[in-house]
Amino acid sequence: MTRPNVLLIVTDHWFGDLLGIAGHPAVQTPILDQLARNGLRFTSAYSEHPVCLPARRSLMTGTSARRHGDRSFQPTLQMPDLPTLAQTFRDAGYQAQAVGKIHVYPQRDRIGFDDVLLDDEGRTIFGVTDDYEIYLGDAGFLGRQYDHGMSNNNYAWRPWHLPEETHATNWATRMTVRAIKRRDPKRPSLWYCGYRHPHPPLVPLQSYVDLYRDIEIDLPYVGAWAEERGALPYNAQATQARGDSLSRQQILAARRAFYALCTHIDHQIGSLIGTLRDEGILDETILLFTADHGDMLGNHGMWAKQVLYENASRIPMILMGMPGDDRVGFGREDDRLVCLRDVMPTLLDLCGVAVPESVEGLSMVGEARRETLYGEFGEGPHASRMLRNGRHKLIWYPCGNRLQLFDLQEDPQELQDRAGDPGLDNLRSELSQRLLSELYGSDESWIRDGALVGEPARTFVPGPNRSLSATRGRQWPVSPPNDKGFMQFYPESK
């Protein structure tokens, strides 16, 4: 029997509730909603390390940061010497093509793919002109992708400034379509499509902004625990500080632009599915849609990622299997705890390919289920750790030794911090001990006599933001490689 093809679609900054089928009040995602009806949607899927590089290392190796080596953001750290998703499929006879954002170093590392058509968002500071930039040059727009002046890590917005067909979302779709059409028909294929959005810069097509003209944009929600900046843990203070300059009008505009980028991607996924249908291979192809992490997008006053609240860490995970494969089925939802390191063993399992021994994830369609899920971000004062069971989530900030506890069944938006609830003392103690057992490396300095002690609290004080949150400039002539272009996520006073 011929093994199925696989189309893996990965977005950036897309949080788990940002789907019509998940009940979101504003976002329009008709294609993804139908994809979920055609298959299986995992409602408790997490990015175990909610920032781009660590999350993608977990996705591509099936391992946690403890094994792959990055739980913060190390832009020049090479991939570990572990079997990757792509290489494992190739070793099983697959052809493997990647398009778009894969976010590795060095940038032309194919991490096991036969070929990569790269969109690395203008990171010429590392010495590489990517394939999207080459395309823009061939189209007569050499070096102009950042003429809009918007930042990769800020929430000002404006419409895309070049013709529609040059938008990165359209380019990634066209290149993936071309890869599908150029496949060797005698061998199964793995196609990876990495869309860079809805990650800022917020530069949606005007037509998608217009689509939201008559749709009421929802305001962010804020829990009582998040209303006083000075009472927050250090890293939460920093994440709030990102939005200090935004007015109510600007917040609504940013959310509208963000949703517009999502709907654009949704419609382009329709083009990918239509291509599979036209080629006569839709029923021979497994599809999986996910994201590297989410975005707080103003909820609890916070922006972007690097925290372990639901908007930043819980992600969409939609799987459409082969017709008749009851392991996936259709019109189903599954609330088991899953994460990015589960993607690799799941796809290998569905294709009958042996899972490498190095993989720590679980097949999402297998019998084994985890009782708890551990998540972590960062080291030093910005660090945070998470332990999620079937109903509750414990978040620990070592800086200040601060615990938060949320009942996600009763309070999915994390509006009430239950850490001080005496009726939950036993639960808090149990989850704390489980979390403690997951700590390693430099975290061990935060443990004393079998208890979490952390380090002294600090107050976050924003400093100058001279790079405008990593705004890029003209990409031509190409600037020389330089280590002064590396961004600091949280500009703070010393």
pLDDT digits (tens, 9 = 90+) for 63-85: 999 999 999 999 999 999 999 99
Matching residue, tokens 């088991």: 336
Q: Based on the number of CB atoms within 10 Å of its own CB, is 228 exposed (0-12), middle (13-18) or buried (19 or more)?
A: exposed
Q: What is the pLDDT of residues 446-487, one digit of tens each?
A: 999 999 999 999 999 999 988 888 889 888 898 888 877 655
Between CA 70 and CA 72 the distance in angstroms is 6
Percentage of the chain modeled with pLDDT above 70: 98
Give the number of other Cβ atoms within 10 Å of residue 449's Cβ. 5
Q: What is the pLDDT of residues 73-131, one digit of tens each?
A: 999 999 999 999 999 999 999 999 999 999 999 999 999 999 999 999 988 889 899 99
Amino acid in position 89: F
Between CA 95 and CA 488 the distance in angstroms is 38
In a 3-state reduction of DSSP, which class is residue 241? Answer: helix
pLDDT at residue 259 in the model: 98
Between CA 269 and CA 322 the distance in angstroms is 18
For residues 339-350, one letter each, b for 16 or more C-beta atoms within 10 angstroms of the residue's C-beta and e for the rest, the string is bbbbbbbbbbbb
The first and second tokens of residue 488, run together, are: 């600091």
pLDDT at residue 466 in the model: 87
- Is 148's pLDDT higher than 80? yes
- Is 489's pLDDT higher than 60? no
Matching residue, tokens 């789907």: 19
Q: Select from 145, 155, 99 the least CA-distant residue to 297.
A: 155
The first and second tokens of residue 135, run together, are: 């395309």
pLDDT band at 488 (very low <50, low <70, confident <90, very high): low
Q: What is the pLDDT of residues 278-319, one digit of tens each?
A: 999 999 999 999 999 999 999 999 999 999 999 999 999 999
Model-wide pTM > 0.75: yes
Name the CATH code of domain 5-368+469-485 (choices 2.40.33.10, 2.60.40.1180, 3.30.365.10, 3.40.720.10): 3.40.720.10
The first and second tokens of residue 139, run together, are: 């189209």
pLDDT at residue 487 in the model: 55
- In the chain, what are the domain boundaries? 5-368+469-485
- Is 390's pLDDT higher than 70? yes
Q: What is the mean pLDDT of residues 13-19?
A: 98
Between CA 106 and CA 363 the distance in angstroms is 30
CB 317 within 8 A of CB 338: yes
pLDDT band at 494 (very low <50, low <70, confident <90, very high): very low
Q: What is the pLDDT of residues 173-184, one digit of tens each?
A: 999 999 999 999
Between CA 316 and CA 20 the distance in angstroms is 12
In a 3-state reduction of DSSP, which class is residue 406? Answer: strand
Between CA 362 and CA 329 the distance in angstroms is 18
The full 3-state SS of 456-475, as one line of letters, equals: CCCCCCECCCCCCCCCCCCC
Q: What share of the chain is helix, strand, coil (3-state, %, to 5)?
A: 35, 15, 50
Q: Select from 29, 30, 27 the least CA-distant residue to 259.
A: 27
For residues 414-439, one letter each, b for 16 or more C-beta atoms within 10 angstroms of the residue's C-beta and e for the rest, the string is bbebbbeeeebeebbebbbeebbebb
CB 363 within 8 A of CB 349: yes
Q: What is the mean pLDDT of residues 344-364?
A: 98
The first and second tokens of residue 325, run together, are: 């494969």
